[in-house]
Structure formats: C-alpha cells, structure tokens
C-alpha cells in the first residue's frame, strides 16, 4: 500500500538557529513559524518486500545525490528508533527550487516522517511525529503542524518534549500573507546545519538566544491581536540581531546577496504607505510578511528589482497531511 503526504514549508518569524544537542537536533531556544499552503514537498511511501530501500528524488541532478543520502540516513535512524524492521520505497518532489534556502529540509523531513509513521501504522500523535521529523532537520518539527507553530526547545535530555505545536490555526488571521521572493535558483553556499555550528561558538550568540526566546511570547501576543506592525517589527529585530552574529562568525557567514539587499531596500521604501516586513533564512531569498490587500502593490514593486527570479504569494495552511 502506497500513501502520499504533502507537507508545507514553514518560515520562522522568530528563528531557531543552533542546537543544544547535535545528535538529537534539540534547539537552543523556542521559535515561531508559519506553515505555507502554496509551497510544499510531496512524498509517497510504501513498504516493499526487498533487501534495500529504494529512493527516487524528482529534482535537479545536482541536488539528488545529497538528498538521497539524507533520506537513506534518516531511514536507518527511523528503524533504529522505532524498531520498525521494514524496507521502504520513497518518491519525493518539491514544488519549489530545492536547496537554495527556502526550508526544503523542513517540508521534506516533515513529509517523510509523517509518511513513515503512517505506513508503519505507528499511530503516533502529531507531537510525536513532529519530534520524529526534528531528527531529520530541526525546522521540520514545525512543518508537521499547520498555521502558526511554536517549536519548543524542551528540557528533557532525550528530546521527548521538543516538538512543534500549532498555537493558532490558519483561519485565525486569514488575510495574512507571506510573499516568498526568490532571488536565485542555485544551491546555497553553506548549509544551515553547518552555519549553526559556527553560530553557537560566537560570543554574541548566548545573548541573541535569551532575547529571541523572550520575543516568542511577544510574537504570540501580536499574532493573538492580529497586529501586523508589532509582529513585523519583532520579526525584523530578530533578523537584524542574527545578521550581526552571522557577520562576526569565523569565517563570516554571508547568505544575502546584492539582490537580497535591493529587495529589502524596496520593502523599507514601500513601508511608508503599505505595511510589509521582511526576513531571510539560510539563503538569499526574502520573505515578506503583509496582508492580502497589499500584495498587488508589493508584487508590482519587487518585480522591477533586477535579479528577482520568482514571487510566490502564500497563505497559511495546514501541516503535513495525507492526500
């Protein structure tokens, strides 16, 4: 029996970046992200009667080998944790450019963990699937859940209380939009996992963690009140503080390109008349938070920035689900 899972990308408003436990992928702090309806991974999983797993990645040749390796390692880990002694056939595809820094590992491992748990009839609750997805990629813990998601750092050494949980469903704020502005289609220079290892050694990191962890509660309040200005400014403050740390790592980490900064510059100018706020992650793309009514103006303006490759308007949507 084959089942297919669709899992959304989840963009952090208040970030997680860096781990307190590298083996269990436990974050140093809580984060808040939103699951986006229009950008997702679809993964089919079936149990097969063979000696080895089969993995098909429907993607660009330059990223295939790395993704297959990641999935294979995850399958071994899944079997050793759950005791499920099966071989799997996996087919996976993204509806956006992989590996360029739009959280493809988040949606990818959320879809895979959900598919494996269901195919193996584990009857896991969402929090357990989220903790399982976290073992593939930290941010995947959020992509299992829908709407506005809090990813708890947890305190247990075994990671059992570190998972994502929906704090508001997507219908809480139906007008909210995230506009994903793609500024490149090439794979990113350094993975978020590798940059996180440099970040945690930066002397400025501990302070960011403390402040950013506190920002989570303020962000929840802004979301509860549907206060875009408040939420947008918190998101940007989190980003600005993080950029200082990235820039002062040894060696410095630079994901933003000239196009990234040109888009950010336009967002600042647009904001005089239209509330919109930006963030970026481990890649050159810009994610713009605003309301549906502002999207045509933002799209028109950003279309004119040289180097912008695609503009994708996204609503909030459900977490990982079977199709």
Q: Looking at beta carbons only, is 31 or 120 nearer to ligand PMV?
A: 31
CA 111, CA 129: separation in Å to the nearest integer? 10
Interaction of residue 282 with ligand PMV, rule CB under 6 A: yes
> CB-side exposure of 179: number of CA atoms within 13 Å?
30
The residues near 111 (Cβ < 8 Å, ≥ 6 apart) are: 5, 6, 7, 40, 41, 42, 43, 92, 143, 320
Q: Indicate whether 154 belongs to the interface with ligand PMV (CB under 6 A).
A: no
Binding to ligand PMV (CB under 6 A): which residues in 182-241?
192-193
Pairing of strands 310-314, 277-279: unpaired
* Shortest reach from residue 304's CB to ligand PMV, in Å: 28
Residue 280 interacting with ligand PMV (CB under 6 A): no
99 binds ligand PMV (CB under 6 A): no
Q: What is the torsional sign of CA 156, 190, 11, 145?
A: negative
Binder to ligand PMV among 12, 26, 209, 298 (CB under 6 A)? Answer: 12
- Of 8 and 138, the one with the shorter C-beta distance to ligand PMV is 138
Whichever of 119 and 256 has its CB closer to ligand PMV, that residue is 256
Helix (H/G/I), strand (E/B), else coil: 147: coil
Instruction: Using the rule CB under 6 A, give the single segment among 84-92, 101-109, 220-228, 291-299 that binds ligand PMV.
Output: 101-109
Length of the chain as a residue count? 323
The least distance separating ligand PMV from the CB of residue 243, rounded to whole angstroms, comes to 12
Among 6, 7, 17, 312, binds ligand PMV (CB under 6 A): 17
**The pairing of beta strand 54-57 with beta strand 87-94:** parallel
Beta bridge partners of residue 91, listed in sequence order:
44, 56
With beta carbons less than 8 A apart as the criterion, state whether 13 and 4 touch.
Answer: no
Q: CA 210, CA 200: separation in Å to the nearest integer?
A: 13
Question: Considering only CA atoms, which of 164, 188, 204 is closest in space to residue 283?
Answer: 188
Q: How many residues bind ligand PMV (CB under 6 A)?
A: 16
C-alpha span between 130 and 143 (Å, rounded): 8
Query: Should residue 16 be labelled a site residue for ligand PMV when binding is judged by CB under 6 A?
Result: yes
Return the number of the residue (197 or 269) whose C-beta is nearest ligand PMV: 197
35 touches ligand PMV (CB under 6 A): no
Closest CA to 263 of 291, 288, 231: 288
Q: How far is the CB of 164 from ligand PMV (least distance, A)?
A: 11
Q: Which is nearer to ligand PMV, 255 or 294 (CB)?
A: 255
Q: Which is nearer to ligand PMV, 106 or 179 (CB)?
A: 106
Among 28, 31, 202, 212, binds ligand PMV (CB under 6 A): 31
Q: Does 281 bind ligand PMV (CB under 6 A)?
A: yes
Q: Which is nearer to ligand PMV, 16 or 168 (CB)?
A: 16
DSSP H or E stretch at residue 136: none
Could you give phi then psi for residue 41, rounded to 5 degrees? -110, 140
Contacting range for ligand PMV; rule: CB under 6 A; set: 15-23, 80-88, 157-165, 297-305: 15-23
Our finding on whether 139 is near ligand PMV (CB under 6 A) is yes
- Return the closest-CA partner of residue 196 out of 10, 8, 31: 31
Those residues with Cβ within 8 angstroms of residue 137's Cβ, 6 or more apart along the chain or in another chain: 25, 105, 106, 108, 109, 193
- Residues of this chain that interact with ligand PMV (CB under 6 A) are 12, 15-17, 31, 33, 103, 105-106, 137-139, 192-193, 281-282
């Amino acid at each position: 029996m084959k089942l297919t899972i669709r899992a959304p990308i989840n963009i952090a408003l208040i970030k997680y970046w860096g781990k307190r436990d590298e083996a269990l992928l436990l974050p140093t702090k809580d984060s808040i992200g939103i699951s986006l309806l229009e950008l997702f991974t679809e993964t089919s999983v079936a149990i097969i009667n063979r000696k080895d797993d089969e993995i098909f990645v429907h993607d660009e040749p330059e990223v295939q080998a790395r993704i297959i390796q990641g999935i294979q390692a995850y399958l071994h880990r899944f079997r050793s944790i759950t005791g499920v002694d099966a071989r799997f056939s996996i087919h996976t595809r993204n509806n956006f450019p992989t590996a360029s820094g739009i959280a493809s590992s988040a949606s990818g491992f959320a879809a895979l963990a959900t598919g494996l748990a269901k195919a193996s009839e584990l009857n896991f609750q969402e929090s357990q699937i989220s903790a399982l997805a976290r073992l593939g990629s930290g941010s995947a813990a959020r992509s299992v859940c829908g709407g506005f998601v809090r990813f708890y750092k947890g305190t247990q050494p075994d990671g059992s209380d570190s998972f994502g949980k929906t704090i508001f469903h997507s219908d809480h704020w139906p007008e909210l939009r995230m506009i994903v502005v793609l500024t490149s289609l090439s794979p990113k220079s350094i993975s978020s996992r590798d940059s996180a290892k440099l970040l945690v050694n930066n002397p400025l990191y501990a302070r960011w963690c403390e402040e950013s962890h506190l920002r989570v509660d303020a962000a929840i309040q802004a979301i509860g009140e549907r206060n875009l200005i408040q939420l947008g400014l918190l998101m940007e403050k989190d980003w600005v503080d993080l950029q200082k740390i990235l820039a002062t790592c040894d060696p410095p980490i630079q994901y933003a390109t000239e196009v990234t900064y040109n888009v950010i510059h336009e967002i600042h100018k647009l904001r005089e008349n239209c509330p919109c706020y930006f963030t970026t992650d481990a890649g050159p793309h810009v994610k713009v938070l605003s309301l549906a009514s502002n999207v045509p103006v933002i799209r028109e303006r950003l279309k004119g920035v040289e180097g912008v490759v695609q503009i994708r308007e996204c609503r909030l949507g459900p977490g990982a689900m079977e199709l």
